[in-house]
Amino acid sequence: MVIVIPVIHIKLRLKTPLTLPVQYNHLLQSFVYGIFPQQEAAFLHDIGFQHQKRVYKLFTFSQLQGRSHYDKKNKTITFNDKIVLSISSILPNLIEKTANNLLLSKNLQIHGKEVEVKEVEFKDFTIPEKGIIHVKAVSPITVYSTFEKRDGSKITHYFKPGGKGVFEHLIEENFVRKYEVFTGEKLPKQALIGIKPLRVTDRDKVVTKYKGTWITGWLGEYELSGQPEHLRFLLSVGLGAKNSIGMGLCLPMDILPKRD
């Protein structure tokens, strides 16, 4: 059985330089919802897939990729000519419908700046039967636990790859919840997903502010292991938490977007 990861690389041409705040996740999230088909976008934004108190959207997207300039003083990033945005999802037809929308769309804007669709590239990747793949995070992976203090206030602790394995454990637990709520299938208790950091350094740590909340995530390269169907699902929906704000998109090395 061929098991593929549904992902598109959206190549955009900028008519004028695009300057964004460094913390641009909310702006990019708004753009992504805007290019989704209307019915699916409304369902994902307003309802999603509910698992107890958690809600999952089951899609994710990358950071903007392209030549850029960082303004340390003003905390902005400027893209000058071309950018690439990658999106993945497990939802049937969402990626295909989004691609069709893009090819027909006019007057697309990011943060008030007009962008033009240059190309929409579908990428298929067959997961090996042995269930081991090498991936790169193209948006930060974040996992965390929230604790309540004696005074009733809450504190959130973000975990880093490696160490005592909490990072990897929480990614697997997150995967199980998403998989079960989407498929209705109850998964066994034994370990299902393995994640091993291959090339992750302190420079891969990314701290992002989203609607007033600081979030810590990690880029880098990882080895994933598990059943091919489980890995397909994991890569399609994103690793870890907060995928729908642009966290946790990992791509096999063979389908990373290439700059022109």
Residue range 48-70: mean pLDDT, rounded? 92
Q: How confident is the model at residue 152 (pLDDT cuts 50, 70, 90)?
A: confident
Among the CATH numbers 3.30.70.100, 3.30.70.1890, 2.60.40.1120, 3.30.200.20, which is that of 7-123?
3.30.70.1890
Asked if residue 4 has pLDDT above 80, the reply is: no
Higher per-residue pLDDT: 147 or 216: 216
* pTM for this model (two decimals): 0.93
Q: How confident is the model at residue 133 (pLDDT cuts 50, 70, 90)?
A: very high
What distance in Å separates the CA atoms of residue 178 and residue 191, rounded to the nearest whole number?
A: 16
Domain 132-255 has CATH 3.40.50.720: no
Asked if residue 259 has pLDDT above 70, the reply is: no
In the chain, list all ranges with CATH 3.30.70.1900: 132-255
Residues in contact with 94: Cβ distance below 8 Å, sequence separation at least 6, in sequence order? 36, 37, 40, 59
Asked if residue 257 has pLDDT above 70, the reply is: yes
Higher per-residue pLDDT: 4 or 260: 4
In the chain, list all ranges with CATH 3.30.70.1890: 7-123
Asked if residue 260 has pLDDT above 80, the reply is: no
